[in-house]
Amino acid sequence: MKKFLLPILLIIITTTAFTYINSTITRSVITFKTRNMGIGVDGTISGLQADVHFNPSDPATSTIDASVDANSINTDNSSRDEHLRGEDYFDVAHYPKITLKSVSFKHKNGDNYTGQFNLNIKGKSKLVDIPFTYTQTGNTSSFKGSFKLNRLDYGIGSSSLVLADEVTVNIDAGVER
């Protein structure tokens, strides 16, 4: 249940963590949220690695290629986490990484941008739009974004009357040049 939410969050975080060439990710928090039996369920995913080339003055030339460790899914419930890592959900034995690769970026206004990314979870790839904010202070840049996905699009779990299909993923990443 939560297993499908976590990989999606990781991918979103990865896509929002773009900055300048030769940058280093200094912090990242990827969270996800869904509903199970009407109750909110949330978790995190970690292990973000990214090749970030982001130019806020010319976003069309920017690229981001990121991944997270699907095995790092954490919902603060070890038995649920193991279930999510299994074949029915994230199948981490066969698909250890969730990847996100940029297709295009557009500047909206102020610090607001939108990126289109190919999100790949469990060998299934879909184009996702991720709105994000980009701010810079000195040598540190911050990317914050949020998006929703349908877990069934990626083969995470199956149709269920108790588990919601929609998962919200939030990404907050810091990058240093």
Quickly tell me which residue has 């249940």 as its tokens. Answer: 1
Instruction: With beta carbons less than 8 A apart as the criterion, state whether 167 and 128 touch.
Output: no
State how far Cα 78 lies from the chain centre: 21
- In sequence order, what are the beta bridge partners of 28? 173
Q: Are 37 and 155 in contact (CB under 8 A)?
A: no
Q: Tell me the C-alpha to C-alpha distance, in Å, between residue 72 and each of 68, 133, 165.
A: 8, 26, 21
pLDDT of residue 177: 77
Which pLDDT tens digit goes with each residue over 137-151? 988 999 999 999 999
Residues contacting residue 124 through CB under 8 Å, at least 6 positions apart: 153, 154, 155
| Domain covering 2-176 in this structure, CATH number | 2.40.128.110
At 77-133, the pLDDT tens digits run 999 999 999 999 999 999 999 999 999 999 999 999 999 999 999 999 999 999 999
Give the tens place of pLDDT for each residue, 7-40.
554 444 444 444 344 467 889 999 999 999 999 9
Q: Looking at per-residue confidence, does 5 or 156 come out higher?
A: 156
Q: What is the DSSP code string of the chain?
A: -HHHHHHHHHHHHHHH---STT-EEEEEEEEEEEEETTEEEEEEE---EEEEE--TT-GGG-EEEEEEEGGG-B-S-HHHHHHHHSTTTT-TTT--EEEEEEEEEEEEETTEEEEEEEEEETTEEEEEEEEEEEEEETTEEEEEEEEEEEGGGGT-S---SSB-SEEEEEEEEEEE-
Using 50, 70 and 90 to split pLDDT, how confident is the model at 165? very high
Tokens of 45: 């995913």
